[in-house]
Amino acid sequence: MKDIIIIGGGVIGTSIARELSKYKLNTVLIEKYDDVASGVSKANSGIVHAGYNETLGTLKGKLNVLGNEMFDELSKDLDFPFKRNGALILAFSEEDMAKLKELKFNGEMLGVKGLEILRREEVLSLENNVSEKILGALYAKTSGIVSPYEMVIALAENANVNGVEFKFNSEVINIEKICDGYKITLSNGEYLESKCVINAAGLNGDIVNNMINDHQYKIKGVKGEYILFDKIAGRLVKKTLFQVPDKISKGVLVTPTIDGNLMIGPNAHKGAKIDIKTTKEGLGEVIDKAKRSVSQLPLNRIITTFVGVRPCLKSDFIIEEVNCAKNFINVIGVDSPGLTAAPAIGVYVKNLIKDSFNLIPKDNFISTRKGIIKFDKLGITEKNELIKRDCNYGKIVCKCELITEGEIIDAINRPLGARSVDAVKRRTRATMGGCQGVGCLIPISKIIARELNIDISEVMKNKKGSNMIGYKEA
């Protein structure tokens, strides 16, 4: 019997897994897809929110601030990209300016540091491409940007190195109480027993909850459409630009990404959990709203559009032990600012279960992790030395992003290594450039096939059935 089973391999599940990997526990994480960061965590804004907009006394308000403060050390230890670029919440009317004062006061009550209201001239001195129609802005200096999927992969790899077992392509289809815990049945017919279950299943958190809890939930999806521009457009702004938020969302933002692109979005429409199609109307809405912040958007620099769907349940996170099921912990309804709060959620959940388990710290816990070498970021001397050690770093596979064969091989062979083209993409950025994979999908598929010793026809884009090549090589 396992001590802990975590259901869900997104930023919440992996944050919990990494936190619990510090202790002498037999922990397993179950993920329905072929890789971590394959659900909600792969498609979001990648913003580490300052927390000025949350409600005092809520878990969102508390864990946002605590989580934000953990990012500097966490990103350094786990070697994932993070930058405190700061955010500007733009005001276009006197009513907006009054709202900024409320947000500043609210943020300070929550413990957010570095909040400052700027006059129009001060904003334009920081961001000269901002619309001249603004009257001022709230400057949130602790706001930052991060690669959400690289963060999840870093957390997962470190948890795995420290003893957490990961089971992929494993969908939970039933949970039942047994005398000393829970029996979990997977879609492949396998079952596991555990003393404690932690439900971090994202959009499917209600389905998992409803298998065991007398109190049933119904999670709805909130669809957000995004537009991604190339790295030339990424120079347009340095800080994340918000507009005064409403009750539904934080609004359409304009931001540089951690990788140097420009991104705008999302809108917010309630709908089906599986609706990931962009629409002409939705993208038009995103562009129109983003133009309030930056009137001259370089629309000829768009390289792709995508949709993120986040869970909508209640106004606050639900992080608690189920009343009718001891040691069944729900971590559900985690929408924005879930990414920011995730490291603190890991600690919060650990404290929830500490009375049920004798949490003995490991003497050999490995707190750091080294990420994949980013060849393009190296100096010429470092590049030449690396190529001398491994000639695969001298072979460019993805020309748009300058990703080498050495990086792709590393992505496949490291802990929890990539098993699909999308898994390689999340670890290396291969296929994320201007051609969106037209020039490198086949070469990447061939490398995966060679490294895994499988036929190229067995290489998937992501899930089962998404074969990259429709034939079997002789």
Give the 3-state secondary structure of residue 369: coil
Q: Is the pLDDT of residue 91 over 80?
A: yes
User: For 215, which DSSP code?
Assistant: S
CA 257 to chain CA centroid, nearest Å: 13
Kindly report which listed range (130-144, 260-274, 368-382) carries the lowest average pLDDT score. 260-274
Give the 3-state secondary structure of residue 469: coil
pLDDT level of residue 163 (50, 70, 90 thresholds): very high
Burial of 182 (0-12, 13-18, 19+ CB in 10 A): buried
Task: Provide the pLDDT for residue 192.
Answer: 98
Q: Is the pLDDT of residue 8 over 80?
A: yes
Kindly report which listed range (242-256, 273-287, 325-339) carries the lowest average pLDDT score. 242-256
Residue 213 near residue 324 (C-beta atoms within 8 A): yes
pLDDT level of residue 248 (50, 70, 90 thresholds): low
Residue 208 near residue 268 (C-beta atoms within 8 A): no
pLDDT level of residue 474 (50, 70, 90 thresholds): very low
CA 417 to chain CA centroid, nearest Å: 18
Pairing between β-strand 144-146 and β-strand 172-178 as defined by DSSP bridges: unpaired
Task: Provide the pLDDT for residue 399.
Answer: 96
Catalytic positions, written as ranges: 49
Q: How far apart are CA 145 and CA 154, in angstroms?
A: 16
Q: How many residues can be counted in the chain?
A: 474
User: For 453, which DSSP code?
Assistant: T
Q: Is the pLDDT of residue 94 over 70?
A: yes
Whether the upstream peptide bond of residue 337 has omega within 30° of 0, thus cis, is yes
Q: Which two tokens stand for residue 12?
A: 């919440």
Q: Is the pLDDT of residue 69 over 80?
A: yes
Question: Average pLDDT, whole number, for the chain?
Answer: 96
Give the 3-state secondary structure of residue 429: coil
- Cα separations in angstroms, 8 against 36, 108, 189, 413: 8, 34, 18, 23
The predicted-structure confidence for 173-224, as pLDDT tens digits, reads as follows: 999 999 999 999 999 899 999 999 999 999 999 999 999 999 999 999 999 9
Task: Provide the pLDDT for residue 469.
Answer: 84
Return the closest-CA partner of residue 173 out of 30, 330, 349: 30
The distance in angstroms from the start CA to the end CA of the chain is 45
The predicted-structure confidence for 323-369, as pLDDT tens digits, reads as follows: 999 999 999 999 999 999 999 999 999 999 999 998 999 999 999 99
The predicted-structure confidence for 104-125, as pLDDT tens digits, reads as follows: 999 999 999 999 999 999 999 9
Pairing between β-strand 240-243 and β-strand 87-91 as defined by DSSP bridges: parallel
Q: How far apart are CA 67 and CA 58, in angstroms?
A: 14
pTM of the shown model: 0.97
Q: What is the mean pLDDT of residues 91-108?
A: 97
**Phi/psi at 106 (5° precision):** -60, -45
Quickly tell me which residue has 């100096």 as its tokens. Answer: 379
Q: How far apart are CA 260 and CA 235, in angstroms?
A: 8
CA 46 to chain CA centroid, nearest Å: 6
The predicted-structure confidence for 47-68, as pLDDT tens digits, reads as follows: 999 999 999 999 999 999 999 9
Q: How far apart are CA 38 and CA 198, in angstroms?
A: 18
Q: What is the mean pLDDT of residues 73-97?
A: 97
Three-state SS letters, 254-311: EEECCCCCEEEECCCEEECCCCCCCCHHHHHHHHHHHHHHCCCCCHHHEEEEEEEEEE
Task: Provide the pLDDT for residue 464.
Answer: 86
Q: Based on C-alpha coordinates, what's the Rg of the chain?
A: 22
Q: What angle do CA 49, 75, 168 make, to 5 degrees?
A: 95
Question: Which residues, in sequence order, are bridge partners of residue 136?
Answer: 91, 119
Q: Which two tokens stand for residue 172?
A: 């939970």
Type of residue numbered 84:
R
Which has more pLDDT, 249 or 263? 263
Task: Provide the pLDDT for residue 275.
Answer: 84
Pairing between β-strand 172-178 and β-strand 165-167 as defined by DSSP bridges: unpaired
Burial of 387 (0-12, 13-18, 19+ CB in 10 A): middle
Q: What is the mean pLDDT of residues 270-285?
A: 90
- Cα separations in angstroms, 427 against 123, 145, 424: 36, 17, 5
Burial of 162 (0-12, 13-18, 19+ CB in 10 A): buried
- Cα separations in angstroms, 175 against 5, 114, 160: 12, 46, 24
Region for residue 189 given its phi and psi (left: phi exceeds 0; alpha: psi -120 to 50; beta: otherwise): left
- Cα separations in angstroms, 351 against 8, 346, 356: 19, 9, 10
User: For 58, which DSSP code?
Assistant: S
